[in-house]
């Protein structure tokens, strides 16, 4: 993948958690220029449901 802003080839974008309108999201960021490459909404992907289920099984 290449960053649309700085044109650097990105092997693995940096991920940061953020709260947008009260919803937890994961923001993919270019490690070179800090451009936001994408936003993943965990609530729609079922991420929190899966992680909660895993925590329940380990208790």
Number of folded domains that form the chain: 1
Taking the model in full, what pTM does it have? 0.57
36, β-bridge pairs: 29
- Report the pLDDT value the prediction gives residue 43, as an integer from 0 to 100: 57
3 belongs to a structural domain: no
Asked whether residue 9 is domain-assigned, the answer is no
Residue 35 forms part of a structural domain? yes
As a whole number of angstroms, the distance between CA 18 and CA 22 comes to 9
pLDDT over 90 (residue 14):
no
| 4 within some domain | no
Residue 40 lies in a domain: yes
Residue 57 has pLDDT above 70, yes or no: no
Report the pLDDT value the prediction gives residue 58, as an integer from 0 to 100.
Answer: 46
Segments forming the whole domain that contains residue 21: 14-58
Q: Higher confidence at residue 8 or residue 45?
A: 8
Q: Do residues 26 and 16 make contact, with C-beta atoms less than 8 angstroms apart?
A: yes
């Amino acid at each position: 993948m290449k960053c649309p802003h700085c044109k650097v080839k990105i092997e693995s974008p940096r991920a940061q958690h953020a709260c947008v309108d009260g919803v937890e999201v994961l923001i993919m960021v270019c490690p070179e220029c800090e451009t936001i490459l994408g936003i993943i909404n965990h609530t729609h992907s079922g991420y929190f449901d899966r992680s909660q289920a895993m925590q329940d099984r380990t208790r």
